[in-house]
Amino acid sequence: MRKRITVLKGDGIGPEIVNEALKVLEAVAETYGHHFAYQCMDIGGIAIDQHGTPLPQETTDACLDADSVLLGAVGGPKWDGLPGDIRPEKGLLGIRKAMGLYANLRPARLFPQLADASPLRREIVEKGIDFVVVRELIGGVYFGEHKTEEVDGELVATDVMPYAEHEIRRIVQVAMEIAKKRRSCVTSVDKANVLDTSRLWRKVAGQVAAEHPDVAFSNMLVDNAAMQIVKNPAQFDVMVTENMFGDILTDEASMITGSIGMIPSASLGDGTRGLYEPIHGSAPDIAGQDKANPIGTILSAAMMLRYSFDLCREADAVEAAVAQVLDQGLRTADSMADGCTLVGCRAMGDAIAAAISAQT
């Protein structure tokens, strides 16, 4: 199979973790007889520095032209003082919107080998952590009107949070379909006791759920959901929620699986072209030190193989290779535990790539 992948390394640890994922994709290509062609483009802070904008038109064009997109992370202290519409993060929001990627799948799965890295008590971890957060990605407060204006001699800032029925319907529909391939249970998370958007969300989600009687469906308020994720994560199969709640809950969910560096994501729209990125940021505190955990990005590449290219055997191989190196006791600093071997970002990528090559 021949595929063209646009690669957006971005800022901070972005280039380091993406390089390891490319290593792994090359091991897959070689082992299974595929050809992946990569085109690297700028996004985020580096694009601001090189082109004066966080999302150059050439980058958008290259993403829309590719079979799929792999992204590292954007942002960093260097660009923190810039106004909202020319910050690195605006580039990420822009490419998600331009590609129509409304469904962000964020699997929170604990590799049993990392049980000791989870801050949760053993007896909670042992019940298993394996759920997917389906996060709406191109609506809500991220994309409503933003303004700061002077009113009565002081500044007043406003961020508008709109949701239309069709935006809610299509993301809940995605959650239903995913649930049917898992344990057929969907929890819709909202703040319907306060927000109009959430009351509409709950109404539309209920309508969609009624069309899927084979899926066990319930609603949960977001503050309770944040608590339940640490109290009893085994109760969740698929959680579906709006953009900002999903952002926050998935950082929380990642940590209970051992490290934010472990969690991948797939951002999908109506076609097969997607954008794949770890859920964490550019980690400026460890950038350039070969300390970052590349596994979230490597597992994102596995999701690309599965969802965009329908290469399920290859995706399984990547996930098995990750499990294998964890079995061998290799750990980056974020998930280090007693008796394990501390490795850097590159050595972790090398080991996973080698494990793939050794599988056949």
User: Contact positions toward ligand IPM, by CB under 6 A?
Assistant: 75, 89, 92-93, 247, 279
Q: Is 223 one of the catalytic residues?
A: yes
Q: Is 247 one of the catalytic residues?
A: yes
Q: Is 152 one of the catalytic residues?
A: no
Alpha-carbon distance 116 to 313, whole Å? 29
Listed in sequence order, the residues at least 6 apart from 166 whose beta carbon sits closer than 8 Å to its beta carbon are none
Question: Which entry of 142, 163, 276, 307 is annotated as an active-site residue?
Answer: 142
Q: How far is the CB of 93 from ligand IPM (least distance, A)?
A: 6
- Residue number with CB closer to ligand IPM (226 or 320): 226
Distances (CA, A) of 299 to 9, 82, 170, 180, 337: 16, 32, 25, 22, 21
Which ranges of 36-87 would DSSP assign to H, the alpha helix?
A: 45-51, 57-65
Q: Is 49 one of the catalytic residues?
A: no
- Structure token digits, residue 227: 């608590």
Task: Tell whether residue 75 is a contact of ligand NAD (CB under 6 A).
Answer: yes
- Residue number with CB closer to ligand NAD (167 or 334): 334
Task: Tell whether residue 274 is a contact of ligand NAD (CB under 6 A).
Answer: no
Among 33-41, 54-62, 188-196, 280-288, the segment contacting ligand NAD (CB under 6 A): 280-288
Alpha-carbon distance 76 to 222, whole Å? 29
Task: Tell whether residue 177 is a contact of ligand NAD (CB under 6 A).
Answer: no
Q: Containing H/E element for 207?
A: helix 196-210
Chain centre distance of CA 114: 19
Alpha-carbon distance 278 to 254, whole Å? 11
Member of 222, 292, 326, 353 binding ligand NAD (CB under 6 A): 292
Member of 42, 242, 247, 314 binding Mn ion (CB under 5 A): 247
Which residues between 4 and 23 bind ligand NAD (CB under 6 A)? 13, 17
Alpha-carbon distance 267 to 275, whole Å? 5
Task: Single out the residue of 20, 109, 18 nearest to residue 72, CA to CA.
Answer: 18
Q: How far is the CB of 248 from ligand IPM (least distance, A)?
A: 9
Listed in sequence order, the residues at least 6 apart from 202 whose beta carbon sits closer than 8 Å to its beta carbon are 188, 190, 192, 219
Question: Which entry of 11, 67, 237, 247 is annotated as an active-site residue?
Answer: 247
User: Which residue number is nearest to ligand IPM in terms of Cβ?
Assistant: 89
- Residue number with CB closer to ligand IPM (267 or 308): 267
The residues that are catalytic are: 142, 191, 223, 247, 251
- Give the binding site for ligand NAD (CB under 6 A): 13, 17, 73-76, 89, 92, 260-261, 277, 280-286, 292-293, 296, 334
